[in-house]
């Protein structure tokens, strides 16, 4: 009889185990796999795995992880949507802080909405720093280090001060002034926009054709003289328009240079966001 | 007690067996996706397999499959990354050699000439692969071919019996190609001649016409003692057109050679039946 029961048990046992055949897709295993993909920086697949679990087993931690995946993929719109869903969850402070980071990365202000509140002191300080950084990037406030109060530590104050000074020292070049200068003296507008090579070339070329026109008029070679006059005029009009564009390009380049400098500074500081809230990998 | 022991042993064996079965099924599933050209999903499932294969039994196969899928999807850097992982988890000499060659093939496609040369030299030095020297020569030939060195490629393929077709193709390309310095040299002597050599007749006639006209105007100005006019036309116009003629001849020869190269590579990709990167 015992042998009989034993054989029955032996027969049934694999039948209980076999349904677990597809167990690579259980919630726990999928979560472990998604975490592995996240750490492998395969964020798209990781987000898909988290989403698949979230559909069955909706929870805030997964929504937060999905948001992080999109943030790491620089898909800020989607990341914001996920973090926004967590506004009343236990991840609300982390989400708010990361939404501020996204606002900085997208060069967006908070569009008049009230500044987010934080209970966690570290997050509060980080959010104040980030808000200040967003304002600097938008050029809303000028140097006012006093208003930073205790937000920044001494090193950061020095860095911020340098960035402020660079921005203040920079003076925009007026495209109209550049065009006017070039109309008066060929190439002067380009020299005004610090485009020295082009300025000198414009001066020499326009001057040379003007001289050739003058020389030919004097020698009564009227046809050739008019050709050189036309060429000189053509070069000068091009030079005036070129000076206008040169001033505009100068402003854009300088602005981009300052923004890049500030962005790389912020990036080196991880945007003042504690690294631990952005997902940790061993 | 005896039954309990037996039952315990049975449980252990069943667990191990089922886990084995699970991994086997997962690999088959990933492979099916690959065959169906669903490379993205094949990568996901092969990565899942590699993650849950704690004994690393499928490590080589899974990483190989991931790498192949990435290659098919055109993600060559990722493919190299996973072939390297496969190389690390290879079980024998054959697996090791095959992954090394796969990495070399991708690097040939990426036109990483020096890197491929270095990798081939390293394998050649390895005594374990002494018997595979003809295979290494074959890929060296392909490396020269992608590096646009058809003469060397023909020379290397010439040493391999099975690569006679490739040798002939390389020799043909070598004959078809234009000499850039000869085209430029012709245009130095007679403006437009380099363009004629590269079969660009319209451009050749235009070049010749402009240079004759501006040369005539320059000489005429000097002979009429209008030195300033002569210098202006000579430097600002004639010299410009003359230089333009030289760079045009060079550009046409380079472009035509590039066209010949691309057509040949395209032909090899579509029609060559032997092994290729």
Does residue A231 belong to any structural domain of this protein? yes
Domain assignment present for A14: no
Tell me how far apart the alpha carbons of residues A236 and A52 are, in angstroms, rounded to a whole number. Answer: 65
Domains of chain B: which residue ranges? 17-91, 107-176, 180-267
Query: Are A44 and A82 in a shared domain?
Result: yes
For position B232, what pLDDT does the model report? Answer: 84
Q: Are A242 and A202 in contact (CB under 8 A)?
A: yes
The CATH number of residue A35's host domain is 1.25.40.10
Domain stop point among A141, A169, A197: A169
| pLDDT, position A125 | 84
Predicted confidence (pLDDT) per residue in B20-47, tens digit: 788 999 999 999 999 999 999 999 999 9
DSSP secondary structure string for all residues of chain A: -HHHHHHHHHHHHHHHHGGGGGGGGSHHHHHHHHHHHHHTT-HHHHHHHHHHHHHHS--HHHHHHHHHHHHHTT-HHHHHHHHHTTTTSTTHHHHHHHHHHHHHHTT---TTPPPPP-SSHHHHHHHHHHHHHHHHHTT-S-S-HHHHTTSS-HHHHHHHHHHHHHHHH--PPPHHHHHHHHHHSTTHHHHHTT-HHHHHHHHHHHHHHHHHHHHHHHTT-HHHHHHHHHHHHHHHHHHHHHHHHHHHHHHHHHHHHHHHHHHHHHHHTGGG--GGGG----
Mean pLDDT in residue range A222-246: 92
A261 and A202: one domain? yes
Domain termination residue (choose one: A148, A169, A190): A169
B268 and B198 in contact (C-beta within 8 Å)? no
Instruction: Give B80→chain A minimum CA distance, Å.
Output: 16
CB contact under 8 A, B18 and A20: yes
Residues A157 and A207 in one domain: no
CB pairs under 8 A between A and B: 48
Q: Which of A39-53, A150-164, A262-276 has the highest mean pLDDT?
A: A39-53
Which residues of chain B are within 8 Å of residue A42 when distances are taken between CB atoms? Answer: 47
Which residue is associated with the tokens 């009009």? A237
Cα–Cα nearest to B86, from B74, B110, B68, B109: B68
Is residue A80 in some structural domain? yes
Residues B166-170 have a mean pLDDT of: 93
| pLDDT at B13 (0 to 100) | 52
- For testing contact with chain B, the best of A5, A8, A10 (most B CBs within 10 A): A10
Nearest-by-CA chain A residue for B7: A10
User: Does residue A272 fall inside a structural domain?
Assistant: no
Same domain, A179 and A256: yes
State whether A187 and A242 are in the same domain.
yes
pLDDT of residue B243: 94
Interface touch B52/A208, C-beta < 8 Å: no
Q: For residue B7, is pLDDT > 80?
A: no
Q: Which of A90, A106, A128 is the last residue of a domain?
A: A90
- In the predicted model, what is the mean pLDDT of chain B? 90
pLDDT at B140: 95
Q: Smallest CA–CA separation between A20 and chain B, in Å?
A: 9
Q: Are A127 and A80 within one domain?
A: no
Answering whether pTM is above 0.90, one says: no
Confidence band of A19 (pLDDT split at 50, 70, 90): very low
For testing contact with chain B, the best of A20, A45, A221, A231 (most B CBs within 10 A): A45
**Is residue A189 in a domain?**
yes
Between B271 and A155, residue with greater pLDDT: B271
Chain A residues within 8 Å of chain B (Cβ atoms) = 2, 6, 9-10, 13-14, 17-18, 20-21, 23-24, 29, 32-33, 36-37, 40, 42, 45, 48, 208, 212, 215-216, 219, 224
Which chain A residue has the Cα nearest residue B22?
A: A21
My answer on whether A67 and A126 are in the same domain is no
pLDDT (tens digit per residue) in B190-205: 999 999 999 999 999 9
**Per-residue pLDDT, B133:** 87
Q: What is the pLDDT of residues A102-134, one digit of tens each?
A: 998 887 765 555 667 788 888 888 888 888 788
Give yes or no for residue A201 having a pLDDT over 70.
yes
Q: What is the pLDDT of residue B262?
A: 93
Do the Cβ atoms of A45 and B228 come within 8 Å?
no
Q: What is the mean pLDDT of chain A?
A: 84
- Establish if A204 belongs to a structural domain: yes
Question: Where in the sequence is the domain holding A257, given as residue range(s)?
Answer: 175-265
pLDDT in the model for residue A142: 52
Would you state the pLDDT for residue B85?
95
Q: Quick one: closest CA in B to A36, which residue?
A: B51
Domain B17-91 carries which CATH code? 1.25.40.10
Nearest-neighbour CA in chain A from B51: distance (Å): 7
Does residue A79 sit in the same domain as residue A104? no
Nearest Cα residue to B93 out of B63, B127, B68: B127
ipTM score of complex: 0.74
Domain count of the fold of chain A = 3
* A126 contacts A160 by C-beta, under 8 angstroms: no
> Among the listed ranges A85-99, A142-156, B137-151, which one has the minimum average pLDDT value?
A142-156
Q: Give the tens place of pLDDT for each residue, B216-273.
A: 999 998 998 888 888 888 988 899 999 999 999 999 999 999 999 999 999 998 998 8
Q: B41-78, pLDDT tens digit by residue?
A: 999 999 999 999 988 999 999 999 999 999 999 999 99
Residue B14 has pLDDT above 70, yes or no: no
pLDDT in tens, B98-134: 999 999 999 999 999 999 999 999 999 998 988 888 8
| Inter-chain residue contact A21 with B52, CB threshold 8 Å | no
Residue A140 has pLDDT above 60, yes or no: no
Residues A161, A184: one domain?
Answer: no
Question: B22: distance to nearest CA of chain A, Å?
Answer: 6
Quick one: A104 and A53 in the same domain? no
Q: Are residues A261 and A180 in the same domain?
A: yes
Q: Cβ contacts of residue A128 below 8 Å, gap of 6+?
A: A151
Residue-level pLDDT at B163 = 86
């Amino acid at each position: 009889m015992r042998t009989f029961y034993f054989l029955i048990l032996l027969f049934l046992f694999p039948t209980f185990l076999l349904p677990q055949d597809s167990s690579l897709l259980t919630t726990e295993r999928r979560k472990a796999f998604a975490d592995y993909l996240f750490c492998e920086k395969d964020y798209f697949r990781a987000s898909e795995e988290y989403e698949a679990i979230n559909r069955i087993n909706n929870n805030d931690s997964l929504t937060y992880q999905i948001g992080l995946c999109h943030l790491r993929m620089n898909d800020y719109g989607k990341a914001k949507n996920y973090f926004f869903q967590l506004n009343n969850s236990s991840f609300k402070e982390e989400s708010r802080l990361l939404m501020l980071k996204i606002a900085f990365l997208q060069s967006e202000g908070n569009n008049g909405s009230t500044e987010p509140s934080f209970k966690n002191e570290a997050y509060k300080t980080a959010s104040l720093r980030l808000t200040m950084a967003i304002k600097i990037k938008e050029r809303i406030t000028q140097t006012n280090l006093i208003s930073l109060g205790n937000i920044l530590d001494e090193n950061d104050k020095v860095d911020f001060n340098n960035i402020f000074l660079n921005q203040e020292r920079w003076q925009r070049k007026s495209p109209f002034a550049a065009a006017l200068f070039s109309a008066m003296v060929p190439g002067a507008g380009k020299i005004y926009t610090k485009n020295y090579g082009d300025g000198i070339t414009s001066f020499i070329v326009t001057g040379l054709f003007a001289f050739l026109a003058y020389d030919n008029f004097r020698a009564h070679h009227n046809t050739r003289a008019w050709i050189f006059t036309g060429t000189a005029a053509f070069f000068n009009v091009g030079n005036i328009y070129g000076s206008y564009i040169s001033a505009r390009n100068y402003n854009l380049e300088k602005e981009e240079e300052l923004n890049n400098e500030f962005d790389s500074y912020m990036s080196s500081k991880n945007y003042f966001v504690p690294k631990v809230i952005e997902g940790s990998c061993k | 007690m005896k039954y309990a022991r037996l039952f315990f042993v049975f449980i252990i064996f069943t667990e191990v067996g089922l886990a084995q079965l699970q991994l086997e099924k997962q690999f088959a599933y990933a492979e099916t996706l690959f065959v169906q050209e669903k490379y993205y999903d094949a990568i996901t499932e092969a990565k899942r397999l590699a993650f849950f294969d704690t004994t690393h039994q499928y490590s080589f196969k899974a990483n190989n499959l991931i790498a192949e899928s990435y290659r098919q999807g055109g993600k060559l850097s990722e493919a190299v990354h996973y072939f390297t992982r496969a190389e690390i988890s290879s079980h024998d000499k054959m697996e090791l050699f095959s992954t090394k060659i796969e990495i070399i093939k991708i690097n040939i496609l990426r036109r990483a000439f020096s890197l491929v040369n270095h990798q081939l030299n390293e394998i050649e030095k390895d005594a374990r692969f002494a018997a595979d020297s003809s295979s290494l020569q074959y890929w060296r030939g392909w490396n020269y071919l992608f590096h646009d060195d058809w003469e060397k490629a023909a020379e290397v393929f010439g040493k391999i019996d099975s690569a006679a077709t490739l040798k002939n193709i390389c020799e043909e390309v070598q004959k078809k190609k234009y000499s850039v310095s000869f085209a430029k040299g012709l245009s130095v002597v007679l403006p437009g001649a380099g363009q004629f050599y590269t079969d660009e007749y319209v451009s050749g006639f235009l070049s010749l016409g402009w240079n004759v006209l501006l040369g005539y105007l320059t000489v005429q100005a000097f002979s009429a003692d209008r030195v300033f006019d002569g210098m202006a036309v000579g430097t600002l116009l004639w010299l410009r057109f003359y230089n333009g003629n030289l760079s045009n001849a060079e550009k046409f020869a380079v472009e035509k050679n590039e066209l010949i190269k691309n057509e040949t590579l395209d032909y090899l990709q579509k029609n060559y039946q032997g092994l290729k990167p």
